[in-house]
Structure 1
Amino acid sequence: MTGHVDVLIVGAGLSGIGAAHHIQSAFPRRTFAVLEARDAIGGTWDLFRYPGVRSDSDMHTLGYRFRPWTQAKSIADGPSILSYIRRTAEDAGIERAIRFGHKVVQASWSTQDSRWTVTAEHKGKPVRITASFLYLCTGYYDYDAGHMPEFPGIEKFGGTVVHPQHWPQDLDYAGKKVVVIGSGATAVTLVPALAADAGHVTMLQRSPTYIASMPGEDKIANRLRRLLGDGRAYAITRWKNVALATLLYQLSRRRPGVMKSLLRKAVQKQLPRGYDVDTHFNPRYQPWDQRLCLAPDGDIFRVIRRGRASVVTDHIKEFTPSGLRLESGATLDADVVVAATGLRLLAFGGMRLIIDGNDVKLPETMAYKGMMLSGVPNLVFTVGYTNASWTLKADLVSEYTVRLLRHMYRNGYTRCVPTNDDPSVTEQPLLDFQAGYVLRAIHEFPKAGSRAPWKLGMSYAHDVVTLRYGKIDDGAMRFARA
């Protein structure tokens, strides 16, 4: 693949397909292409194949703003989400613009030419394409491997150890003893799914996490769709769910004790009488210091009530030939151990960025509006919310990018670059989030700033105002012509 395009999108996952839809719709006479490292559309939703994989937020906000989610289930399974993404690409004819098996390894900007030269690896050979504008939809974690701690004695274990990110499709766990290490969203998803066929499933956690039950179907959304049609019902439901999520998040941050009590009481009602809630479901941190886990229709609590699953809160001392020995001295027998131990973050898919021959050091840059980099021209990236659905932010980034490009085309600009020359702006972490996968690698990412437009907001309503309607030429964004 060679040649030049006006906009080059990297990544054909949820945000990449959305970005392509926005660019193609807004600029039908402009050229664009999508480079995808893997051989299929879908990104995360094509990669993750573990049992029960599903959304961790409702599909009326995880779905695209321009394409209503019409299925009855609001908390959808992975295959349904993947089908939704692929249908979106197919209906808009985006598939023909995607170049599969192209892993971008480098992007080099030339100010003299006002263009990027992007190098990708395809079948072991370098391929280059130039672009006037680069749009990165690579997500923020490593697709090649998840986080795997060094467990003492793991080589002694006689059973099978798997990581959810690379689930073997031929794994037979029917009737077997399964231990799931972890307490995050993946573990909370896996436990009830595995319990359907396994002999018994044990969730082994070092410390508890917050889990909230949510109906698998949104009855209001389904009723509205029958009364008002797909489009109107979707828009109303989307804002209803945004408002509810915002209310719960704000309550968590401003009255953490109240929220903690509400969550604890809700959990207690769904567990057997006398269950040790304080040991297994009483986190040490405050609500929304880490992402809240969802249990559609309380599925994890249901399998615990039925004796199909149990929770153990302890630390691993070592693996044994037949299972695990814990710090308390207790042992867990296991045929299969699932290490739901988290992700590894990777900024921009690990690609190298170069400006006029000089490497861009990401930790020395600052994120402009959470979607561009200080000193880096004609580049946009997508990072979603940590307290809401990823696609809410991805859609807004696309809308802003369309407005930015339209401003440049109308005024004959060939270059835009966010510039931070305000010494009063101090550095902050890009993701102010206490999850382990964030803390392990956030030092490798760009910084955020102490105030706008460098402060990364986590409010969808605020971003609607600033990204959808705010000024493009705001003083921090500098424009130039070749």
Structure 2
Amino acid sequence: MTITESSPTTRAGGSGDVDGTEHVDVLVIGAGVSGIDAGHHLRERFPDKTFAILEKLPGRGGTWWTHRFPGARSDSDLFTYGYAHKPWRGPSIATSEEITNYLDEVIEEDDLKAAIRYRHEVTNASWSSQDQRWTVDVHRADTDETLQMTCGFLWMCQGYYNHADPYRPEWPGTDRYRGVIVHPQQWPEDLDWTGKRVVVIGSGATAATVVPAMAETAAHVTMLQRTPTFIAAVPKTHELAVQLRALDIPEEWTHEILRRAYIEQFNELTRMCQETPEEARTWLLDEMRPYLPEGYDVEKDFNPGYRPWQQRIAVVPDGDIFTAISEGRASVVTDTIDTFTETGIRTSSGEELEADIVVSATGFNLSALGDIPFTVDGEPVDVSRQVTWRGIMISNIPNMAYVFGYFRHSWTLRADLVSDLICRLMTTMESRGARSVTPTLRPEDADMEIRPWSEPDNFNSGYVMRSQDKMFKQGDRTPWTHMHEYAEERHTLPAADLDDGSLQYR
């Protein structure tokens, strides 16, 4: 069966192979925002192709399934984080429950329920040039059995979190601490912080979310940060959305108008941060001051040493963390940890922070392609020795594409662009009668400089820098570069040349 052939069975199912192994035209890995988007595009563009979506978690949503810490919500506006094809009708900043309800609507409207198989974890993927197909090993957690599936094209939508192994530094003294230490990615359902003293270690988006949420009922919450993060207060509901909805115009219009407004707003902020970073720094700090008590040392607690947008800016709805600080329910300590004590944490400056609960909001470990072992014609693939093709495919790996969103703009803006390009690539394969496509360096790329997956001058968050050695690389020229901004890729990806010699069709 070629990639252009489809099964006579259901579109979301597969066909039996000669040895009983199920075969689908396209196998999508992950049922989060990217995987559901891939399912939508396949259903819309290729109604005759068979496909399945494998998800190792018990439910849909990816990050929105695993992140169950207090206040879990988006830190991107939902008009751009939502799909282009599905109008968002809620507030600009939404809770995890609101987002998963939105995803449920997409699953229902696109008839994807039968295509998604939960508790199915891919443990190995092998490509055969002779058979022109992938064979994947799948562990079913619900039955504790291993099965195999084959596919013509593998679409990786697993995200970039290692959900099972969050990042937490080794701190001295934790063995004698008598309180509770939790990580937001592994939040206990029965944890009660009412009236408790809480220390949240970290300063990023998760910490900025957890602190005001816990401060509602805790005795006090202290955010202990080694270095500050830029924090931006934004309205939970955009004023323009209120005005447009008051006019009772179609939701599709409101969605598109707000989507364009947010895109241009972030384009301008990104441009300012790149071209006039100190002006951007001053503006960001000045925006925080009205939310904090008079005389508050904003420079000490909220002025990072890095350039604005060199790491993500933590977005907080209606300035909720600043409100908690102003009301005395939360505070910020900018210092390093000397040791844990029996009753809390002692900082390097000698300050004692009493804590019944310590939240390690210290980030996550990045997962390269779901940490799935890949082989091509029996040879193991070391992705760290390969280069990306437009941030969508990887050199020398046939018929495999991956979705990686933006660091600065909403993830889904890029997921939509990538899905469109993958579908265009599949159409190109059909027109050529090709069964496989492989990104391959051209003769003119022989002298190409190989650069890190993420250049520190561009983006240098801890989880990115810790993962450089296991991630694929990029080159110094098109199409071997990635991590461009949406303002550029909204034009370059739809116009990408699929016949420039960098893709080998067979």
Q: TM-score, normalised by structure 1?
A: 0.97
- The letter of the residue matching 2:186 is H
Indicate the residue corresponding to 1:198 in structure 2.
Answer: 218
Between the aligned partners of 1:453 and 1:470, the Cα distance in structure 2 is 9
Matches of 2:295 and 2:211, distance apart in 1: 22
Select 2:281's aligned residue among 254, 260, 264. 260
Query: Which is worse superposed, 219-228 or 287-296?
Result: 219-228
Deviation string for 1:115-157 (max 9, x for gaps)? 0001111133321100000000011120102101111111111
Aligned 1:293-442 pairs, distance under 5 A? 293-421=314-442, 422-432=445-455, 433-442=459-468
Deviations 1:344-377 (A, max 9, x none): 0111111011100111111111110101001111
Deviations 1:200-244 (A, max 9, x none): 000000111100111111121343354541222212221221111
Counterpart residue number, 1:49: 68
Measured in 2, the distance between the counterparts of 1:130 and 1:183 equals 44
Residue 285 of structure 1 deviates from its aligned partner by 1.1
Check the 8 A contact 1:56/1:75 in 2, yes or no. yes
SS in 1 for 2:430: helix
Q: Match of 1:31?
A: 50
1:458 match: secondary structure: coil
Task: Choose which of 28, 34, 49 in structure 2 pairs with 1:9.
Answer: 28
Cα root mean square deviation, aligned: 1.3
Is 1:63 aligned to 2:86, yes or no? no
CA contact (8 A) 1:386 1:458 kept: no
Distance 1:222 1:308, change over 3 A: same
Aligned to 2:502: 476
Q: Report the Cα offset of residue 463 of structure 1.
A: 1.5
Within-5 A mapping of 1:224-243: 224-225=244-245, 226-243=247-264
Residue identity in the other structure for 1:277: V
Q: Do the aligned partners of 1:457 and 1:463 also contact (CA within 8 Å) in 2? A: no
Select between 139-148 and 214-223 the one with higher mean Cα deviation: 214-223
**Structure 2 residue 195 is matched with structure 1 residue 175:** yes
Bigger mean CA offset, 425-434 vs 39-48 = 425-434
Residue in structure 1 matched with residue 6 of structure 2 by the alignment: none
Secondary structure class of the residue paired with 2:345: strand
Please tell me whether residue 288 in structure 1 is matched to residue 314 in structure 2: no
**Structure 1: where are the runs of 5+ without partners?**
none
One-letter amino acid of the structure 2 residue matched with residue 406 of structure 1: T
SS at match of 1:117: strand
Rounded Cα–Cα distance in structure 1 between residues aligned with 2:137 and 2:483: 32
1:409 match: secondary structure: helix
**C-alpha separation between the residues in 1 aligned to 2:479 and 2:249?**
38
Please state whether the residue corresponding to 1:428 is helix, strand or coil: coil
8 Å contact kept, 1:42–1:86: no
Aligned pairs, number: 479
Q: 2:116 aligns with which of 84, 95, 98?
A: 98
Paired residue for 1:452?
478
1:443 aligns with 469
- What amino acid sits opposite 2:169 in the alignment? P
TM-score (norm 2): 0.93
Sequence identity (%): 44
SS of the residue corresponding to residue 156 of structure 1 reads coil
Within 2, Cα distance between the matches of 1:83 and 1:307?
A: 34
Residues 105/305 of structure 1: CA separation in 2 closer, same or farther (3 Å cut): same
| Farther off after superposition, 415-424 or 365-374 | 415-424
Measured against aligned partners, the alpha-carbon deviations of 1:28-63 in whole angstroms (never above 9, x if no partner) come to 111000111111111110110000011011001100
The 4+ residue runs of structure 1 with deviation greater than 4 A are: none
Q: Tell me the amino acid that sits aligned with residue 128 of structure 2.
A: S
What corresponds to 1:84 in structure 2?
102
State the SS of the aligned residue for 2:331: strand
